Every structure is written in C-alpha cells, then in structure tokens.
Chain A
Amino acid sequence: YHQKICLHCDKVNRKSSHICHNGGIYKRPFKESFEETPMLVAVLTYMGYGILTLFGYLRDFLREWKIEKCHNATEREEQKDFVPLYQDFENFYTRNLYMRIRDSWNRPICSVPGAKFDILERVSYDYNWTFKYTGRIVNDVINMGSYNYLGFAENSGVCADAAAEMTLKYGVGVCSTRREIGNLDKHEELEKLVAKFLGVEASMAFGMGFATNSMNIPALVGKGCLILSDELNHASLVLGARLSGATIRVFKHNNMQSLEKLLKDAIVHGQPRTHRPWKKILILVEGIYSMEGSIVHLPDIIALKKKYKAYLYLDEAHSIGALGPTGRGVVEYFGLDPRDVDIMMGTFTKSFGAAGGYIGGTKELVDYLRTHSHSAVYATSMSPPVVEQIITSMKCIMGEDGTTLGQERVQQLAENTRYFRRKLQEMGFIIYGNDDSPVVPMMLYMPAKIGAFGREMLKRNIGVVVVGFPATPIIESRARFCVSAAHTKEMLDTALNVINEVGDLLQLKYSRHRLVPLLDRPFDETTYEENED
C-alpha cells in the first residue's frame, strides 16, 4: 500500500500517481504511479496461495507414500546415507507451485531476438516435469520480453558485418586475462569510446554485467565502510555489497526521506558500538529498476550526496541507451552533469545487443580498477566480435557513423514507450513505474493468472515475460513488457489488441483510475490531471 509523501511538494499524496516539479531540480514532469492493490484482489490472491500450499502438502504426502509417482531426480544409491543435499522444505515452492507453470519460462528460441522471433514448440505429457520438442517452430512471435531497447539485436547490417569481420580476423576467444596477455588493442579502443559516450574521463569494460558489480564493489569499499543500498536492487549489487565486507543498510525504494535519515544517522553516530567515523559511504542505486519500471530520483540523490559527502554508484543496466534525448542514460534524462556521479556502471547486453559491462568515472578511479579489480587479474577478457558489436552500435547511437539511425532509434523508443504505456492505462490495467521507462510491468496478482497469461499470449503469437515470487513480493506477480525501438506501430497495435482480449478473458483490468482516452495528438506537457476516479 503505497502512500507517497513527496519530498518537494510536502503533501501526502492520496492518489497513487504523482507528478512533481520541485521548482527547478526536475526540469520536466516526473510522473510515476504505483497503484495500490485492490483489497478484494489481495484477499483472493492470498486465498489462492493458501489453496496451492494445501494441495502442495497433499501431493508431497502422496509422493512420500508412493501413491503418486515421483518425477524428481533422486540421490545415488551409494550416497543415500550422506547428509541430504537439499532440504525438503527449501524446494517446496519449486516442486509444488513453480513446476505447474514452468512452461512460461526458459522458452527456447531459434532466431535473432529482434522485434519478432521464432520459438521452439515444446509439449509436456507429465505436467511440466519433462518437456519434449515437437520439432515445430512457431514463427514470427512478437517479442515483448527481450531487452532489445534500441533494436540492435540483428544479424545483418553494419554492426553484424563489423562483428563478422572481427570474427574472421581475431577469432572468438582470448584465453588470457587483461593483466597478463589478453589486453587487445580493441579493448583499449572500446574503453575510450565508452568514456566519450558517457562524458566521463575514462572507463573500463568487463566480460559480464553481473560480474562487473560483484567484482568491483569489493575493490572499492571494504570493512569500515557503509553501503546504503536501495530495497529493490539487483542480485549482482547485493552480492557485490556482501562480498565487500562493508556494513549494508537498506533504504526504502526510491524514498529520499529514508535515505536522508540513514545518512544523517550514519554520520552522527558512526560505526555501531565503537562510534568511530565511517571511512566511506557508498550509495547504490539503479537507473531503471527492471521489476518496477521506476526511474531513480537522481537529482534528489545527487543533492543529498553532495550535502553528506557520500559517493554514488549508479547501475544503468537498463537505462543506458534507453533514456535521454540522445540515449546517454538517466543522467542525460535529468539534464545533470555526469561528473556528479562518482561511479557510472552499465551493461552492454540491453541496448547495445552484445554482452558485458563497463564502469566509467575519473581517471584515478579507472587506473585503480585496472590494477585492483578482480576481473582484470583473474577473468578472461571480452571476446573480440562482441567488442566490435559494441563499438559499432555505440558509434551508431552517437551519430559518428555518419547516419542519423541511432538518433531515430532513440526517438522511436521514446515514442513507442509513451504510446504503449498510455494505451495500456486507457484499457484499465494496473501499470507500475515511470511514464518514460521502456520497462512496463503489468500487474497480474493471482498465481493462476501468471501461468494463464503466459500461455494465452503465446497461443496468440505474442511472447511475454511473467514474473512471480521470489523475484517480486508474493502477491504482486506481474507480466513485464519491454518496448523496443524495433517494434513498429502495427506490431504494438497487434500486441495491444491481444493484451486487451486476454485481459478481458482473464479479468486483469483491475485499475480503478480510468484514463480519458486521448485524441491522437502528441503527448502535450500541458495536460496533467486526466484521471477520472
């Protein structure tokens, strides 16, 4: 139940959506909404989980007494007297709830993950315990699930040609670490380009986005430091924070008052028990939170960081390339100076159609990481064709390849996002997040609807991603759409019609704030209060 107290406007916001201006820090209206769960829906969802749990216990009982066949793989005969590898209750959720709707996940595809893709059809004759491939391929399924924001996942075109050339010239592997003999000239070129793209002094690239966080946060902070991390941070940030050995304190999601309170307490009281002052304070936030679709309140955080002399680590995994008038990320979206963010981290997987991560910052920071990062000394460097794909796509976004293709894509993404979100809200679904975020979570709530939504959409040739517990709170399961610049208006319209149909079929239109349908005029910044309750 979200009751948002806006830090700037100083009034309790009883409506679930809020727009704030804060006299100048926010240069454009910052509109985000997290509508409260309707009471009836919450009750029914809990009941649903209760019934599933009861059935789960019943099935476990039947399996133990061998009345029902057990499909689980079992321990070897020779090792039956070892301590069991898994505890039974740990896997209760997996066995009894996840297994029943398992076909919504891990769907194998066999084409480019572009705007449309081909899915391998699979069937299960034993209720999802095992899958068999029928051999048929479902062609041209509209892709609303892959993180392909700027549409660079393609197998032809400038980027693919450059990567192909690099494959033949350099090969695919590197077989050594950056510190030893795996530092290719291509890596240096990439790092200079990334620094230029972000507007920072220097940058360093790594082979895996997850590992970028988990290997570099321990290199920057250690014992005696404090990490203030957002409630809904990604697993890689949490792992990196844990491995560093610093004290971790969590503040409520995007809540600046909570963060300020923690900062004040930390500086005034120092370390617990000894009251020695903290060595460093590091704030960990993400640009776009992929499960909520919310954008971080960056101007507020930078103001707080400057006041309390903390350091800011910004993880732009989803927002780089996707936000901002030229795709430079959340810093450009708010019109701020990249030098205010101490450590800018991001990944190349989402908007650049490649793999890997980067960290950008001052030259001192990057020089330090080159010697002290775990990845530079122990992990293999990035593969050359992947590096080339990043270089080409980044040049395209920056406009350095001589075309306006990159700029067009960034604008197309912004338009698609606004259109898609608007239409879904008009239809009456509950959509979370900021109006400008290309990640669109749509609430499903009930466990049975998770499986039903995934399956019905696939039947109608749309591939969507559904998420439930434990990635989200237990009653807030959702479907998450990722809008891409590669989607044409026709594709979005088809998808929207299908979502409308399925939404009526499964009764997903929970929203109590109906938007007045706009005439087809471009989104005008003078229109605000359009909700009718």
Chain B
Amino acid sequence: MASGQQWVLVEMVQAFYEAPAYHLILEGILILWIIRLLFSKTYKLQDSSDLTEKEIEEIIEEWQPEPLVPRMSKEKPAPSYNIVSGPPCHKITVNGKQCINFASFNFLGLLDNDRVKNQALQSLRKYGVGTCGPRGFYGTFDVHLELEDRLAKFMRTEESIIYSYGFATIASAIPAYSKRGDIVFVDEAACFSIQKGLQASRSHIKYFKHNDMEDLERILKQQELEDQKNPRKARVTRRFIVVEGLYMNTGAICPLPELVKLKYKYKVRIFLEESLSFGVLGQHGRGVTEHFGVNIDDIDLISANMENSLASVGGFCCGRSFVIDHQRLSGQGYCFSASLPPMLASAAIEALNIMEEDQDIFRLLRDKCKHIHKELQGILGLKVVGESISPAFHLQLEQSSGSRESDVRILNRIVEYCMDRKIALTQAHYLEKEEKFLPPPSIRVVVTVEQTEEELEMAANLIKEAAQNILQ
C-alpha cells in the first residue's frame, strides 16, 4: 500500500517537471490570487464611509427626528370619550345623563343577568382573577376546556379554540394558515381585525365588491387563468375567501349558499367571521350557517368573538379538528399571550346555558329588529343601511354635505340630541387613515332583547324628530 502511494508521489513530481512553463506560471498566478482574496477585506454592500470622524459627529448633531407624536392643533382638540358611570346595561348613565342603551352590543341582554354574574362570582372564588400564564404553561384551566367543549357542541363542530381577546381571534387565525405567497379573496367591507390579520399574513389580497358574488366569480376566474399559466406554483398556493356572516360596517348578510358553490367550483377554502351573527341568526342562534341551512362542515373555519351576544370577553374559532388544532401551536394570540381569566370563561358557559334553554329569544330579537327597521324607514335625510333582521344597523346621511368632517359633525348633533332626551346612541367610529375602504360616517343603532316595544317606538320617534330639527 505504501509503495503504491509512493509511486503516485513520484508520478506527481515527474508530471511537475514535465509540465510546460506557461501552465506552471498560470497556476502560480491563480494560487497567489486566491491568497490575496483570502486576506483582503470583505466587500461592503453599503458605500464605505469615507467621512471623517468629525463629519460623522456633525451629522449626528444636526439630525433632528420628528416628534414622537404629532402635535394636536388647538383648533381641533382631541375628541374626548363618553364616560359611563355604573354598569353599561339596558339603563345606562352616560356623561351624567340616564339613558336607554341603544349603543352596546348586548344583543341578548346577558350583561346584567344574575345567573351569569353569580357563576362568574363562584369562579372568582375558586380560581382568582388572572391566569398568570399562557395556555402552554399552566394557564389551561378546566373551565377553558369545558368552554371549548361546549362551544364545539353548540356549533356542532369537532373542536373549538378560545382566545382571550376578541380582536385578536381572527387576526391570529388568518396568519396561522395563510402565508406569504398564498391568495386571499376578501370582501371590501371586512372589519378592521380581518384587515390586520391579512396584513400580518403577508399574502396576496384581492378585494371583491361588497356582497357581490359576480365580482368574486370574476376574480376567481381570473385567478384560474393565471394558474393555468403556472400550474406548478398553483399546486402549492393556498386560496381562501374571508367573509363575515353579518357585516359590522354595513349590516348586510353574506350569501353563504352561493359562496359554498363557488368554494367547490374553484377549490377555495372559506373562513367565516361570525362576531355579529353568533347568537343572533338561525333558529337556535348558531349563526349564519343555521340561517341558510348550510352544512357546517362546508365552512373551514368559523371565528367569532364572545363580546357581543355572550356578553363576556374573548373570542373563539370552531371547525374541524384538522383545521383548528393547527392554531394551538401557530396562533400567535393563543401561544404567546396569557389565557382568558377563568371567571370570564365561566360567565360565557352560563350565557351559553341560557342560550340553549331559552330558544325563543332569537325570534324575539329578530321581531324587534324588523319592527324598528320598519319604523325608521322614510325619515327625510337619513337612510337605513342593513338587513331588516340585523340587530346592529347604520343610519347614514342620504346626501353628504360635501366633506366627511361636516357629515360627522351633523351626525354628532343628532346623537347629542338623542342623548339629551334619554336615548344613548353612538356614531360608528373608524380609524380614517388606516382603513382600506373607509365606510361613510353613520350612526349605529343596536337592538337588544331587553328593549320594550315602547322604548323602540320612543327611539324611532326621537330619531325622526332629531333628523327633522337638524337636517332641515
């Protein structure tokens, strides 16, 4: 073996002597070049600073940043909040005035319910207030597991997952599934939390006109054509449609059966946001799937917050285990945040109990909505925007006065007029610079089960009066 190696060495030395001169010179130059590259400084991508120390100091001295927050001008002071003293239930005290509440999303009147309060109290006496940890680190309580179980059973899905903040629910769910490169088709009137979820996901967003299925089909067809050009990429690009059951910004209901048809035709998954329709639509309050009689397994993910009908805090997502279980490790608002305080979870469980026992409240709520909807038709200057069975609808100015600011001011005067006469209303507030498609200014009227017929009549008459006085 050794002789073999030696033999190879001799051959090498021989070859070295026999090689032509230019060959050796070329190799020598190459070796020197490599050595030079190894020892030279790394190539800087940023232009190397040939500024002197003194110049650097001067630049640092001269640079002035903008103020951390822009100065508020004296002419337009920041609008102050309404202060509510006491519980925000049916009879509410706003800025010292006692009013009837037409502004809180307390659809089923469970905010002031004694059973719910007692259950929360019992839970407080057992668990304390906070959970002191995220779900993964001893923040999972048996009440959380029970609530998830109950919600899954109520909605007739396999599994559900709870979040501790309503806004964070859909904003964490969307980025868990849709990543960079995926495509999401979203309605223009989607609420802000959906928009933030989409922004966090970094996917391609394609908007379609509000509730316009033809527009949606048009862009789906467009996408199909593009897919045919690049089938390899299309095979790994996930597609989603995100819609709301009952839109917060317009009070409209999404046409779910057509959406399901489009889903199977173009192979897109549906994410349904049911914050306003959970506990409102459907015979048993199960939301828009029950309202239309759609099989709940056809919807991939249903997300809702528990802050409207359930009068608690937090949110949940439900669907098949295949879909929901993924969020337990990749939903940011679930993994990296403390869990829901157990007393709020117990309150939600009791609210669910009440919803299951008393099936009639849903029909009652819908009747009241239809009633006030009819009453408010035909007001000169104001138009009602929203379905007749939507408990949260908008009153917009029929003719805009030109600028958004003056519209807002006029509507504010109507709101104040009503508040002075014992009806608490509110304008729908938006972050004007942040919204993608800013809805026109409007007053949001909320109907709850606790409002009596007389109160509804009174509210309708008052709004008519206010419109007459202020808009004429």
Which A residues form the contact surface with B (CB < 8 A)?
Answer: 73-76, 78-79, 81-87, 94, 98, 105-114, 117, 120, 143, 145-148, 152-156, 159-160, 163-164, 167-185, 188, 207-211, 215, 220, 234-236, 239, 242-243, 264-265, 267-269, 277-281, 307-311, 342-343, 347-350, 352-355, 364-365, 367-372, 374-375, 377-380, 382-386, 389, 463, 465
Asked if B65 contacts A86 (CB within 8 A), the reply is no
Say whether B237 faces chain A, with CB atoms less than 8 Å apart.
yes
Q: How far is the CB of B40 from chain A (nearest CB, A)?
A: 22
> How many angstroms from the CA of A278 to the CA of B60 in the assembled complex?
12
Other-chain contact of A181, B94, B140, B237 (Cβ < 8 Å): B94
Asked if B129 contacts A353 (CB within 8 A), the reply is yes
Asked if A367 contacts B72 (CB within 8 A), the reply is yes
Say whether B22 faces chain A, with CB atoms less than 8 Å apart.
no
A-side contacts of B332, CB under 8 Å: 210, 235-236, 239
> How many angstroms from the CA of A277 to the CA of B61 in the assembled complex?
13
Instruction: Offer 30 A-B interface pairs, CB within 8 angstroms, sorted by A.
Output: A73-B322, A83-B237, A83-B238, A87-B236, A110-B142, A113-B131, A146-B138, A153-B130, A155-B127, A164-B125, A170-B87, A171-B117, A172-B343, A173-B311, A175-B88, A180-B82, A181-B104, A181-B424, A184-B83, A185-B85, A209-B337, A210-B168, A220-B68, A239-B200, A265-B46, A372-B431, A374-B431, A385-B124, A389-B129, A463-B138
B-side contacts of A211, CB under 8 Å: 165, 167-168, 333, 337
A-facing mask of B403-420, CB < 8 A → 1, else 0?
000000000000000000
Asked if A268 contacts B51 (CB within 8 A), the reply is yes
> How many angstroms from the CA of A264 to the CA of B71 in the assembled complex?
27
Asked if A210 contacts B132 (CB within 8 A), the reply is no
A-side contacts of B1, CB under 8 Å: none
List of 5 A-B pairs having minimum Cβ-Cβ separation, nearest first:
A208-B165, A368-B69, A210-B337, A379-B167, A73-B322
B-side contacts of A342, CB under 8 Å: 68
Say whether B466 faces chain A, with CB atoms less than 8 Å apart.
no
B-side contacts of A170, CB under 8 Å: 86-88
B-side contacts of A308, CB under 8 Å: 60
Best-buried of A82, A181, A365, A374 by chain B (most CB within 10 Å): A181
Asked if B168 contacts A182 (CB within 8 A), the reply is no
Say whether B246 faces chain A, with CB atoms less than 8 Å apart.
no
Q: Which residue of A lies closest to B322 (CB)?
A: A73
Say whether B106 faces chain A, with CB atoms less than 8 Å apart.
yes
A-facing mask of B100-125, CB < 8 A → 1, else 0?
01011110001110001100110011
Q: Which residue of A lies closest to B56 (CB)?
A: A268
Asked if A183 contacts B84 (CB within 8 A), the reply is yes
A380-B313 contact given A211-B165, A268-B60, CB 8 Å threshold: yes
A-side contacts of B236, CB under 8 Å: 83, 87
A280-B336 contact given A170-B87, A355-B341, CB 8 Å threshold: no
> How many angstroms from the CA of A188 to the CA of B130 in the assembled complex?
21
A-side contacts of B117, CB under 8 Å: 167-168, 171-172
Other-chain contact of B59, A143, A168, A234, A268 (Cβ < 8 Å): A268
> How many angstroms from the CA of A215 to the CA of B333 in the assembled complex?
12
Best-buried of A112, A171, A239 by chain B (most CB within 10 Å): A171
Q: Which residue of B lies closest to A177 (CB)?
A: B429
> How many angstroms from the CA of A485 to the CA of B138 in the assembled complex?
18
A-side contacts of B335, CB under 8 Å: 235
Other-chain contact of A350, B63, B132, B167 (Cβ < 8 Å): B132
Known: A177-B429, A278-B65, A379-B165. 10 other contacts (CB 8 A): A109-B138, A113-B138, A120-B142, A145-B138, A173-B312, A236-B337, A353-B129, A370-B78, A377-B430, A380-B307
B-side contacts of A183, CB under 8 Å: 81-84
Other-chain contact of A107, B47, B112, B140 (Cβ < 8 Å): B140
Say whether B191 faces chain A, with CB atoms less than 8 Å apart.
yes
Asked if B311 contacts A107 (CB within 8 A), the reply is no
A-facing mask of B194-207, CB < 8 A → 1, else 0?
00100110000000
Asked if B193 contacts A378 (CB within 8 A), the reply is yes
Asked if A349 contacts B132 (CB within 8 A), the reply is yes
Asked if A167 contacts B78 (CB within 8 A), the reply is no
Asked if A377 contacts B320 (CB within 8 A), the reply is no
Other-chain contact of A85, B66, B92, B234, B323 (Cβ < 8 Å): B323
Other-chain contact of A176, B59, B104, B131 (Cβ < 8 Å): B104
Other-chain contact of B124, A155, A236, A372 (Cβ < 8 Å): A155
Asked if A172 contacts B120 (CB within 8 A), the reply is yes
Asked if A365 contacts B129 (CB within 8 A), the reply is no
Report B24-73 residues with CB < 8 Å from chain A CB. Answer: 46-47, 49, 51, 56, 59-60, 63-66, 68-72
Q: How far is the CB of A121 from chain B (nearest CB, A)?
A: 12
Asked if A160 contacts B238 (CB within 8 A), the reply is no
Asked if B83 contacts A188 (CB within 8 A), the reply is yes
